[in-house]
Amino acid sequence: MSLSVIMKLDEDGEFHELATYTLPPKQALIAYYMQTEKKNFNTHRYPKDLDCIHERAFGKGYQYFKGDAVIYSKWVEDAPA
């Protein structure tokens, strides 16, 4: 099972867990963005890519910038199968 967590790194260097999705990291971040930023809950019509979402260094998930914060997704380690 794919399990991803959405995290926020704020301007003070603190990490906050925002959400968990049963999707791969890219699709999880797109879903989070569409739901929180665009208030769009029509999940079957989400795009496959968004210009604001970029792959993180070393292929460790995806991210977008929101002001001085970074919102990013990553795989959940040791997720139940």
Looking up tokens 């910038």 gives 65
Residue 61 is encoded by which pair of tokens?
């998930």
Is 34 inside a domain boundary?
A: yes
Pairing between strand 4-9 and 15-21?
antiparallel
Instruction: Please give the model's pTM, rounded to 2 decimal places.
Output: 0.90
Q: pLDDT tens digit string along 23-39? A: 999 999 999 999 999 99
Is 81 inside a domain boundary?
A: no
From the CB of residue 33, how many other CB atoms can be counted at a distance below 10 Å?
A: 22
Is 48 inside a domain boundary?
A: yes
pLDDT(81) > 70: no
The domain tally of the chain equals 1
Residue 64: domain span: 4-75
CA–CA dist 64, 72 (Å, integer): 6
Integer angstrom CA distances of residue 81 from 22, 74, 78: 11, 17, 9
